[in-house]
């Protein structure tokens, strides 16, 4: 039994553990720059970072900001944009985009401009995307916090905010009343439950 155990132990080798290797950032005399860690091959692209759609990631056509969305704007996109806007933008720009957010109202010296001034109403969509991505003035960049598609969703919501504050009767779809009729509720809800909005039957014609 003892002999079998000795034979078994004699068969164990440490080659894989003791093989030649470099510790991270160790010096190496093999390369002329003396670095053991080698830089990636030129043109290497990390997985998930192949940014073929340049406009989606920069908001620019060449060196100028573009003025179109890189994907269709749906109700879901606007809802996502509103959610991200309320989290990241509203503290300074306010919920309606007039620049009177909580942060400047508490004494921050640089109040952001209103989205409803003429200059920003006419600004191309890519301009807002670029500012979110790279920052502007006292505003830091949000590239690390907000994914590119979410930045575009915020841009779409900003444009919706601008329209909401500067729309005319001609912008209202035909057949829709201004102001809209208040919703009717099937259940009013309580402190623990949300109200349930009354839905019209699909065959009912709008009044």
pLDDT at 199: 79
pLDDT score recorded for residue 110: 87
Angle between helix 148-166 and 125-134 (nearest 10): 130
Q: What is the pLDDT of residue 31?
A: 86
Cα–Cα distance, 207 to 204 (Å, whole number): 9
Provide the pLDDT for residue 5. 67
User: Is the separation of the CB atoms in 146 and 154 below 8 Å?
Assistant: yes
- The span from the CA of 24 to the CA of 16, in Å, is 18
135 dihedral zone (left: phi>0; alpha: psi -120 to 50; beta): left
pLDDT in tens, the chain (207 residues): 777 766 666 666 666 667 777 888 888 888 888 888 888 888 888 887 788 899 999 999 999 999 999 999 999 999 999 999 999 999 999 999 999 999 998 888 889 999 999 999 999 999 999 999 999 999 999 999 999 999 999 999 999 999 988 777 777 778 777 767 777 888 877 767 778 888 776 555 555
Nearest to residue 59, comparing CAs of 190, 148, 177? 148
pLDDT score recorded for residue 175 = 79
Instruction: Assign domain 62-167 to its CATH architecture.
Output: Orthogonal Bundle (1.10)
Report pLDDT for 63: 93
Residues 6+ apart with CB under 8 A from 184: 197, 198
């Amino acid at each position: 039994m003892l002999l079998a155990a000795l034979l078994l132990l004699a068969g164990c080798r440490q080659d894989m553990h003791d093989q030649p290797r470099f510790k991270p950032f160790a010096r190496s005399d093999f390369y002329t720059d003396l670095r053991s860690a080698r830089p990636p091959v030129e043109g290497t692209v990390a997985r998930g970072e192949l940014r073929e759609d340049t406009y989606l990631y920069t908001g620019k056509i060449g060196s100028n900001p573009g003025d179109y969305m890189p994907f269709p704007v749906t109700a879901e996109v606007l809802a996502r944009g509103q959610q991200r806007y309320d989290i990241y933008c509203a503290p300074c720009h306010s919920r309606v985009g007039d620049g009177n957010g909580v942060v400047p109202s508490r004494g921050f010296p640089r109040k952001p401009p209103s989205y409803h001034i003429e200059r920003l109403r006419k600004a191309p969509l890519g301009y807002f995307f670029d500012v979110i991505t790279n920052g502007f003035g006292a505003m830091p960049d949000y590239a690390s916090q907000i994914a590119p598609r979410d930045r575009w969703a915020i841009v779409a919501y900003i444009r919706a905010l601008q329209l909401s504050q500067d729309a005319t009767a001609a912008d209202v779809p035909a057949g829709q009343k201004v102001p809209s009729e208040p919703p009717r509720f099937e259940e009013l809800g309580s402190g623990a439950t949300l109200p349930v909005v009354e839905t019209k039957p699909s065959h009912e014609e709008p009044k």
